[in-house]
Structure 1
Amino acid sequence: MKTLLKSLCLFSLLINSIIFAQTTTKSTFQVKGNCSMCKERIESAAKKTGAKTANWTAETQKLEIEFDATTTSADEILKEIANVGHDNEKYSATAAVYENLPSCCHYEREPSFLKKEISAKPIKQDNQFYVRGNCGSCKARIEKAAASAGADSSNWDADTQIVTLNFDPAKTSADLILKKIAEVGHDNEKFTTKDATYNNLPDCCLYDRTLPLGVKSDLVHHEEEPALKKDFSQNADHFDKSIEEVRLTKLEQATALSKKETGLTFNIGTKELLKAACCNLSESFETNATVDVSFSNAVTGTKQLKMLGLDQKYTSLTKELLPSIRGIASPYGLNLIPGRWIGGIQLTKGGSTVVNGYESITGQINTELLKTQEQPETAVNFFADVHGRVETNITATSQLNEHWNQSVLLHGNATLGKTDSNNDGFLDQPTGNQINAAYLLNYNDLEHSGFGTHFGISFVKDQRFGGQTAFDKKTDRSQQSAYGVGIDLSRFEIWNKTGYMFKDKPYQSIGWMNQFTTHHQDSFFGQRNYWGNQNTFYSNLVFESIIGNTNNKFKTGASFLYDQYDEDYLTQNYKRTETVPGVFFEYTLTGLKYTLVAGARTDFHNLAGTQFTPRVNFKYDLTPKTIVRLSAGRGFRTANVFAESQQYFASNRQLEILGNGGKIYDLKPEIAWNYGASIQQEFKLFNRKATLVADFFRTDFQDQVLADLDLSPQKLVFYNLDGKSFANSLQTQLDFTPAKNLELRLAYKYYDVQANFIGGKREIPFMAKNRGFFNASYSTDKNNKGAFWNFDSTLQLIGEQKLPNLNFNPENYRLPEYSKSYATLNAQISRTFNKNIRVYVGGENLTGYMQNNPIIDVENPFGNYFDASMVYAPIMGANVYLGLDFTF
């Protein structure tokens, strides 16, 4: 009897085990969310509804669950997840629940997870095999491959994704046939096609490789489609089996204003950069309304940026979040980052985070270089314009193994043509050439070991010669009477960023960044020589964690900056070494509808003394579509009066410094406070999404180093501010899509920039009070060959600008008090063929507006009145360019 009972118990356990094994289901679903708070909420909801395990990942937006199908279902689990606020494949959260989520959890609800019905995997026979494909071309290719591998006959069905094979086992095998089918481009249940072969298939044959074998899906994306309805599937079992993985296709935005960032941050992608020639970083903002781009003088051909009404030197320019264009590199550094190397740009208006340093006053522009995306890619670009400028770019990104990937970036350009649009005897742009190379190596194993590192190295050599058309760069200057300009630059950078994410603590990490840079310039402007060398070492250690929960985050750490300057101007040498150790702490508080980021840093500058830098940013979501931001912060910097004023070297002004006992050029460091407020409003216009942004920023200076052009037309005088100096910036911008594939952007900017100079309160010169901006971009629908057109145009209206006072000059060499208003028009048309070839043609300054007589006393370049720095408008007429891109 005991033996019988034992046997029954064992039998019962066995049956239960079998039943349990048969009823335990594993499934993967798409669920929307952003952060660690979302992860906790989603997984808790799943487990509450009966899931035995639940794991949601923000990067993939995937939820993996295990559950007992006898006690719950995927339908019930996904419904509960929607009830707590997270849209998924089957259910959408209500607007009320979504709006009550913390602001950091407000994911993008459009586009939603959209798909047509996916059929369940069909049943196949012994001589049938799953083979991926789409169309009639796929059918012909698969059956031809089967025949070449020895099949007597074959029949592939696009709907079932099944190929039926008839063959003689003595002559061939199913494995050999399926291997041949994979070699021509079609994944199957035995073999996987190489990426290179798959990528070379016609567009109509590019099947979805993410779906389970044997499942065909017609995934679609409609920009304004509503979220999925709750009656998506009536059959829960069918839903569980067939919807294991769905790809979300989201249209790339050229420039996106982040809703998540506390600061006013614009993310500029490659789509935006391709709207214009974009040969280097200075030309990457031609279609952007936030940054103003202008030529700095009439002989060097360089462009400078302005933001919030202030010069580029007050904006922190970083590359890979490391200090980049600063110090001696300021006047020409933008030309040393090729546009085709750029993977993306993050532009933040107002004071940025204290983690990145103390120099940001008007904002930060961070450039990210190209890195490996979903698949390896090699691209070649050729460019030429009618003024004799040519360039070539070669970029290659590749995956070395599961964790390592690399980027090889090469660039070369030359300006061969000698252009003198106004026949004044001076070149409108210098001739010369540049060779530029960079190598990036990345390791990423955050998912398993929590470790990642990034290494980079770059070198650039740039030579430019300008001045009078009669100047011969091969002849010694002492042997010729023509006015010449020569600029010889070389720059070397090596950097590393290493991070570690603590196991089971995704909110806690530590990162260490290090960079060494050496920048050298040897130049002459007529009879004026300038030589400079800067060696910089930068290190930043950052620890990030939470206080109690993820609503309370903090970052803390220490940084060190070492700058060694050595400059020769005329016959005088200026040397200095700046060492700046610093510590910082930043706290982030996240509430239901608000985010507060407050931070402070203390830097111990060996020459400028101890500097305390507080900054605060606050974001409040009035509604999911209405966001208000406030910011305030302090910044300081040490001025490099010679390097940052080289646009005035192209004149015979004498440079003079009125010192006040400071330790850098006998001047004190510049200190500024920046305050800002903005509102971001999303709404429907023409039944499509539109975004309106209005922002106001004010910058107040203390001890600003002023460059006074008005004391005398023959002098440029530097001195510290004694009084008030401020810049008010007001901007409104509207982005909307009135029709499919047509994107419009309108903006208006108002600047009021004034300072107390020695002669009294005056407007800062060369700053237009009013500016208008309009950009239109249109793309045709892709046809079945993958070819499409892009059309883009940008119109800018620049109002009158205050000009320096030259009334002490003879009448012929004077300027009016204000310049005239003018407009510029840029446009580009591009044609893309099969995703691999792109041809583009464009024009710049198509209105043809040119400044009259940009050079004062042009006939006497060595005389007292010669001045090529009074530039406020284009000095070249219309420019037309042509380009060609190949992608492999």
Structure 2
Amino acid sequence: MKSYISRIILGVFLLSTQFIFAQHLSKSQFKVKGNCDMCKERIETTARKAGAKTAVYSIDLQTLTLETDNTASTDNIIKKVAEAGHDNEKFKATDATYEALPGCCHYERDLHAKPLENHDHHSKKENEFYVKGNCESCKARIEKAAKDAGADSAEWNAETQTVILNFNSEKTSSDTILKKIAEVGHDNEKYKSNDNTYKNLPACCLYDRNIPFGETNPKVHTEEGTASEHADHNQNNITNENHDNQEKQIEGVIVTGSKAATSLSKKEAGLVFNIDKKELLKAACCNLSESFETNATVDVSFSNAVTGTKQLKMLGLDQKYTSLTKELLPEIRGLASAYGLNFIPGRWIESIQLTKGGSTVTNGYESITGQINTELLKNAEKPETSLNLFADFNGRAEANITSVSPINDKWSQTFLLHGNGTFGDTDMNDDGFLDRPKGTQLNAAYLLNYNDLEKSGLGSHFGINFIKDERTSGQIGFDKKIPQEKQSLYGVGIDISRFQVWNKTGYVFKGKPYQSLGWMNQYTYHQQDSFFGLRNYSGKQHTYYSNLIFESILGNTNHKYKAGASFLYDGYDETYLTNNFKRNEIVPGAFAEYTLTGLKYTLVAGARIDFHNLAGTQFTPRLNFKYDFTPQTILRLSAGRGFRTANIFAESQQYFASNRNIQILQNGGNIYGLKPEIAWNYGASLQQEFKIFGRKSTIVADFFRTDFQDQVMVDLDRSPQQLTFYNLDGKSFANSFQTQWDFTPFKNFDVRLAYKYYDVQADYIDGRREVPFMAKHRGFVNLAYSTNKNNNGGFWSFDTTLNWVGKQRLPNTSSNPEEFQLPSYSESYAVLNAQISRNFNKKIRAYLGGENLTSYYQKNAIVDFKNPFGNYFDGGMVYAPIMKANFYVGLDVTF
């Protein structure tokens, strides 16, 4: 009996001991670097051998979660993990151990932590969960959401980025509470907030979504301010490291990181490049036309030798086939096509989203080769006013003032002011003509933002913009004030007035952060009065655009859809010489788009139908597909249709500075007697990441083909004295291949190399020919280096870009006298740009740069420049720069 009782007592004692020890298991989490399943097995096995009761490693979060009793030292466990080859926040593996790992295990070694014997790592409690936030408003929102979901109490800690929950498990669960917290905009370890919900948080609440859980606290010091409206794009797949370095201090560990100036989104099904304002600071970037000098995707060139304007080309086709939007609203189109790039100052731009190939149907039907969207400055945690002064050595000067400030917790505003003037007579090729026009521009905008997402789910953005631009060009000495008929010199005058007002209003349904309704409206008035020698051209355009979008899910967030309706009105009134052309385009439309998200793939399928009063009913399908073979290997496919109506006068003004007669071969259409332009675009791209020099490197190769079903041909070959427009009869296509390699040979030094091949041909009246002014081969090199920041935040930056352009087919001028004939093909040439900038601190930056440092320029850019009123005069045959090297200086001051 005693033996039986003693056995019971011993059993109870042993069970009690196990229970006591079980209750004293503690859970902790550490940042540990790894790259694959082999890493996961090695880390977990090492941790368990070192004394951990359980060890779970997350490759995605780069975290190791340990359960230990009071006999095991977490420091010893983490040290053993480092000895096995894996850097962590306390200990760093030796170089020899790291190099001995299998190739697939070579993670990026950007966690430069030193052994810290007294490092007090935060150990999560059982009822503690990672929740991201940024300020006191976040704290209040998180704790209120938790209580609304049934928590008895909730305490969010900004330093540890965790919330401690107390709740009755019979009434609710941690999953329910964390889901509710995500629904109000805060990512956590179990649920991710909807992108729209996150973007509509107040500016002060926009936390960094790219930092893994457990690595964020209010000691983080960044130079970037708040996230932009498109932060969900900018956080993905840094393709190169722009070293405007940020230091993140995490409980004694200093982590040095950087944010890309240009990034390629891994999440997007389409090929979308996000260009940050830091990228724009690498060059002069006085306006949008100069914003792509360090970008390999977009080709920038002078349109003619008289007006000095620049044009963009993408996928081997003219700018008119790319949808150019501002705040996702139609911007550079219609009468603004020729000079609209000059109307968006570079210092106003917060970010640019560049989509190659078919873009979403929600933004309209005009995109054929892609879309370039510009977002203006409108986010700041605290009031910030900046002044930019710029001048070059040839008489151009400009000033920009930008002011972004919160009014209260719901309202914020932005003032944007730009003025420029060109006062010098620049004639570098001694032909008697100005290489660029003289004149002035005044440009002012006001933006007002409202955000009450937390309470009412409502947000709104209002903007107004006014532009007055006056330019004079032509022969030196031309006086615009003297009537044309009394002039002995050839002159060009361009006066433009432009006014815009727009609003974007959105509503997120309460309790359904995945469901929203947005309505965009914009009115634009554009007027141009101009003359080119003895030829007059004037035009007025009234445009009203409206777009209503509803977004929700089908069952769960793996199945999303958008549906909506749009309306576009364009009223045109143009006069060329004595001919008047009037038309009204009225286009109601409807669209739908479905997004399917799988573990390794994303499919976006959309279609829209538009009822054009002049072009007829148009059906526009588009498809984008992304497949992740691995996290480092991504394939994208796209296909889609686009259509547009050609504005033949506004889009061909580069040829007005000539004595070509305009001829329109009408084909029964309702727009200048011509039919609309319709094209299909197909694309494929492969994105591959790998390690070189111990750092991440990315290669992107893409191929796109554009096939025109109908096109308005601009024929310069029928006669050097004639410009002929007619509809395509046959085939017209553009093949575009590009490969780009971004890598970092050593710290703070970024390299971008690219090669492009174009094959662009069309069936003209007299046969198939290459489209003129399009080089088959192009090369691109961009180098960027910056020094480390000093104690005041100061550093130097050095940027240089080399563009090599192969030979181009030139229009046929064989019927001209020999001295006025052009060769069949141009020479190849190279253009070198460079800039040095010095940030003295966070407030003051000065820069010095040079454009076309190779000083290559097109000799005799103007055909028969000595006789501008004769039959052979032509200023539109431009294939290269028309100015030699030009130097500039600038100053940025932030208050």
TM over 0.5: yes
| Mapped contact 1:114–1:219 kept (Cα < 8 A) | no
Count of aligned residue pairs for this structure pair: 699
AA of the residue aligned to 1:807: S
Write out per-residue CA displacement over residues 344-400 of structure 1, whole angstroms, 9 at most, x where no aligned residue: 000000010001000000000000000123332111000000110000000010111
**Kept after mapping to 2: 8 A contact 1:252/1:271:** no
**In the TM superposition, what is the alpha-carbon distance from 1:444 to its structure 2 partner?**
1.7
SS at match of 2:691: strand
Which residue matches 1:199? Answer: none
SS, match of residue 823 in structure 2: coil
Counterpart-to-counterpart distance in 2, 1:441 and 1:864: 53
Q: Partner of 1:704 in structure 2?
A: 711
The answer for the alignment partner of 1:262 in structure 2 is 269
**Which whole-Å deviations, capped at 9, do the CAs of 1:81-100 have from their partners, x for residues lacking one?**
x659544586899xxxxxxx
Q: Which amino acid aligns with 1:334?
A: L
Distance 1:743 1:31, change over 3 A: same
Counterpart of 2:286 in structure 1: which amino acid?
C
CA RMSD of aligned residues (A): 3.0
The corresponding residue for 1:386 is 393
**Paired position in structure 2 for 1:158:** none
Matched, 1:507 2:524: no
Q: What SS class does the counterpart of residue 644 from structure 1 fall into?
A: helix
For the residues of structure 2 that align with 1:850 and 1:279, how far apart are their CA atoms?
Answer: 21
Letter in 2 for 1:531: S
CA displacement, residues 814-852 of structure 1 (integer Å, 9 cap, x when unaligned): 000000000000000000111111110000000000111
Q: Cα deviation per residue 1:447-478 (whole Å; 9 max; x = unaligned)?
A: 34321111111101000000000211222222
Post-superposition shift, 1:217? 9.0
Q: Is the 8 A contact 2:471 2:495 kept in 1?
A: yes
Aligned pair in 2 of structure 1 residues 470, 85: CA closer, same or farther (>3 Å)?
closer
Alignment of 1:753-768 (within 5 A): 753-768=760-775
Describe the superposition over 1:499-524 as per-residue Cα deviations: whole angstroms up to 9, x where unpaired: 11112211111111110111110000
Deviations 1:253-302 (A, max 9, x none): 11101111100010000111000000000000011000000000001010
Are the structure 2 counterparts of residues 218 and 513 from structure 1 closer, same or farther at C-alpha, using a change threshold of 3 Å? closer
Deviation at 1:732, TM superposition (A): 0.3
- Could you tell me which residue of structure 2 aligns to residue 654 of structure 1? 661
1:781 aligned onto 2:819: no
TM-score by structure 1 length?
0.75
Which residue type is aligned with residue 538 of structure 2? W
Counterpart in the other structure of 1:887: 894
- Among 461, 470, 474, the alignment partner of 1:454 is 461
Matches within 5 A, 1:94-109: none
- Please report how far the alpha carbon of residue 445 of structure 1 lies from its aligned counterpart in structure 2 after TM superposition: 2.5
* 1:420-435 alignment, distance < 5 Å: 420-435=427-442
User: What are the equivalent positions in structure 2 for 1:380-529 lying under 5 Å apart?
Assistant: 380-529=387-536
**Contact 1:798-1:822 at 8 Å conserved across structures:** yes
Matches within 5 A, 1:747-758: 747-758=754-765
1:444–1:353 distance in 2 versus 1, CA, 3 Å: same
Aligned counterpart, 1:607:
614
Name the amino acid aligned to 2:835: Q
Corresponding letter in the other structure for 2:308: G
Deviations, residues 753-778 of structure 1 (Å, cap 9, x unaligned): 00000010000000000000000000
Q: Deviations over 1:210-242 (max 9, x none)?
A: 968xxx899999xxxxxxxxxxxxxxxxxxxx9
1:808 alignment counterpart: 815
SS at match of 1:271: helix
2:195 corresponds in structure 1 to: none
Checking the alignment, whether the CA contact within 8 Å between 1:652 and 1:863 is kept in structure 2 is yes
Q: Deviations over 1:730-783 (max 9, x none)?
A: 000000000100000000000000000001000000000000000000000011
Provide the residue aligned with 2:860 in structure 1: 853
- Describe how 1:485-634 pairs up with structure 2 within 5 A: 485-634=492-641
Match of 2:356 among 349, 361, 372: 349
Aligned mates of 1:862, 1:738 — CA distance in 2: 56
Q: 1:670 aligns with which of 677, 693, 696?
A: 677
Conservation of the 8 A alpha-carbon contact between 2:111 and 2:256: no
Structure 1, unpaired ranges of 5+: 1-22, 33-74, 94-107, 122-209, 222-241
Aligned equivalents of 1:245 and 1:784: distance in 2? 18
1:751 is paired with a residue of what secondary structure? strand
- Structure 1 distance, partners of 2:322, 2:584, is 22
Partner of 1:282, secondary structure, is helix
AA aligned opposite 2:312: L
- Identify the residue that residue 837 of structure 1 maps to in structure 2: 844
What amino acid is aligned across from residue 419 of structure 1 in structure 2?
Answer: T
Counterpart-to-counterpart distance in 2, 1:383 and 1:218: 30
| Cα shift at 1:110 | 9.0
Asked if the contact 2:220/2:250 (under 8 Å) is kept, the reply is no
Aligned partner of residue 708 in structure 2, secondary structure:
strand
Q: Which residue of 1 aligns with 2:324?
A: 317
Q: Secondary structure, in 3 states, of the residue corresponding to 1:335?
A: helix
What's the secondary structure of 2:819's corresponding residue? Answer: helix
Residues 366-381 of structure 1 mapped to structure 2, 5 A cutoff: 366-381=373-388
Tell me, in whole angstroms, the C-alpha distance in 1 between the residues paired with 2:530 and 2:28. 62
CA distance 1:485–1:217, shift in 2 (3 Å): closer
- The 1:713–1:498 alpha-carbon spacing in structure 2 relative to 1, beyond 3 Å, is same
Matches within 5 A, 1:191-210: none
Compute the TM-score of the two structures, normalised by the length of structure 2: 0.75
Q: Deviations over 1:396-447 (max 9, x none)?
A: 1011111211111000000010111011110000000000000111112223
Would the aligned equivalents of 2:108 and 2:694 in 1 still touch at CA under 8 Å?
Answer: no
Give the letter for the 2:723 counterpart: L
Looking at structure 1, the residues matched to 221 and 413 of structure 2 have their Cα atoms a distance apart, in angstroms, of: 34
Structure 2: segments with no counterpart, 5+ residues: 1-22, 33-51, 67-77, 82-106, 123-215, 225-248
> Do the aligned partners of residues 883 and 220 (structure 1) sit closer, same or farther apart at CA in structure 2, a change above 3 Å counting?
closer
Q: Is the 8 A contact 1:456 1:494 kept in 2?
A: yes
CA 1:848–1:217: 2 relative to 1, 3 Å: closer
Asked whether 1:817 is paired with 2:831, we answer no
CA distance in 2, matches of 1:681, 1:420: 47
- Describe the shift of the 1:217–1:495 C-alpha distance in structure 2 as closer, same or farther (beyond 3 A): closer
Over 3 Å counting, the alpha-carbon distance change for 1:548 and 1:470 in structure 2 is: same
Matches within 5 A, 1:123-134: none
Residue 736 of structure 1 pairs with residue 743 of structure 2: yes
Are 1:339 and 2:346 counterparts? yes
User: Are 2:689 and 1:682 equivalent residues in the alignment?
Assistant: yes
Q: Structure 1 residues 369, 243: closer, same or farther in 2, change over 3 A?
A: closer
1:881 is displaced (CA, Å) by 0.2
| Residue aligned with 1:511, SS | strand
Name the CA distance, whole Å, in 1 between partners of 2:793 and 2:59. Answer: 41
Q: Distance in 1 between matches of 2:549 and 2:119?
A: 47
Question: Quick one: distance in 2 between partners of 1:387 and 1:257?
Answer: 37
User: Distance between the aligned counterparts of 1:247 and 1:595, measured in 2?
Assistant: 36
> Per the alignment, in what secondary structure is the counterpart of residue 613 of structure 1?
strand
